Structure 1
């Protein structure tokens, strides 16, 4: 690991020369890669910890103009390097795994294979991998399967989202035994109406885990109703 870190440090000046550090949200020049300027940091709105009733919700920010730009750049702009920044902010909201106990299992919201082929990556799976590197659990990226292709949920109301997702997400039988009796954290980039999360949680519940929580980068609420795409 030390060799890798030394190698990264040695090439960083060249990377910064070719790709000057910029704020991931507004594009202003920065001193280092993978960050936000002070103005954009100040606009991120941090929600209360672990809200959400039965299922604990660990959200890094509310979904506002700044977090929306980050999500769009990450998911639709192909800037997958942002996964580390977003995961770092999520990790700061999550509790530390209990010592002496098996780590939580980090289960990303799945994409249908055609959507995965079109986009080239599952943004939730990348976040789960980064959260694993931050010591928040162990990623189980194939635990859930979206076996039926669903339309883009952007612009749909809660009832329509529930209807579209009904029966579309299932637990992979090969992973059911791994999730049994374990603390499971569902991972996604944005929590909107909660329809996708509820479909995933229902599938996970079939494995009889000890608990289910949700970790996401941005959360939409009544005061933050920007269009999510």
Structure 2
């Protein structure tokens, strides 16, 4: 029996499990109450074969591609999102990232990992990087915590420093496509010490939330320029308002 399992009854006695979203009592430390589980929106099937964007038409055949991917084929090789971004998932993201509830990493990563396809062979699990100033202020990189759990769950190698953020970037919310591109220009780079290992590599890129996709797209572009063969993006939540 693992030490954590042996001590869990004592931990539960001292810190009774509470739902991190609403505060109601629950049976285990890393879960949600039934009501909050019910408020999460899990991407369903059928979905776009390129980005998993769910279709709302039941007659869509397997292998269909959504209109955005047809109009502008993505650089990535798939997106695995544990949930769609709504009020329920937003509460969890805020508690995790800004409320410092880092114990949520296990649950959020499980949801993301469950949406990943079968990973044949060896894959490198790489988090979206934070600039050192933001890492210093926050104290942790939430994407790195998720990546650690995803690597463990899928039995793949964690390369926590595969990418680096050379310069701080402003919040991209509300910026147009061109402004986002300018803000991210030159911001993401491959760690020089990891460069050789990316040649022909398969990568799972991990982030907490995908909003516009500008940051993950910059990471995918950097990884592929370094020689990565495939890059699948795994995240806890994805903004797809039209799918809600």
CA distance, structure 2, for counterparts of residue 47 and residue 136 of structure 1: 24
Q: Which residue of 2 aligns with 1:90?
A: 112
Q: Which residue of 2 aligns with 1:176?
A: 195
CA shift at 1:182, angstroms?
1.4
Q: Which residue of 2 aligns with 1:28?
A: 24
Structure 1 residues 224 and 116, CA gap change in structure 2 (3 angstroms): farther
The 8 Å contact of residues 192 and 220 in structure 1, kept in 2 or not, is answered as yes
Q: Which residue of 2 aligns with 1:79?
A: 101
Taking structure 1 as the reference length, the TM-score comes to 0.89
Q: Structure 1 unaligned runs (5+)?
A: none
Q: Structure 2 unaligned runs (5+)?
A: 52-68
RMSD across aligned C-alpha pairs, in angstroms? Answer: 1.7
Aligned pair 1:70/2:86, yes or no? no
SS in 1 for 2:209: strand
Aligned length: 218
The 8 Å contact of residues 111 and 122 in structure 1, kept in 2 or not, is answered as yes
CA shift at 1:136, angstroms?
4.9
Q: Which residue of 1 aligns with 2:83?
A: 61
Instruction: Spell out, residue by residue over 1:85-130, the C-alpha distance to the aligned partner (whole angstroms, 9 max, x if none).
Output: 00011111012322xx2x2111110000000000000000111100
CA distance, structure 1, for counterparts of residue 5 and residue 127 of structure 2: 31
Q: Which runs of 4+ in 1 moved over 6 A?
A: none
Give runs of aligned pairs for residues 66-215 of structure 1, distance below 5 A: 66-98=88-120, 101=121, 103-215=122-234
The 8 Å contact of residues 94 and 136 in structure 1, kept in 2 or not, is answered as no
CA distance, structure 1, for counterparts of residue 145 and residue 173 of structure 2: 21
CA distance, structure 1, for counterparts of residue 88 and residue 123 of structure 2: 30
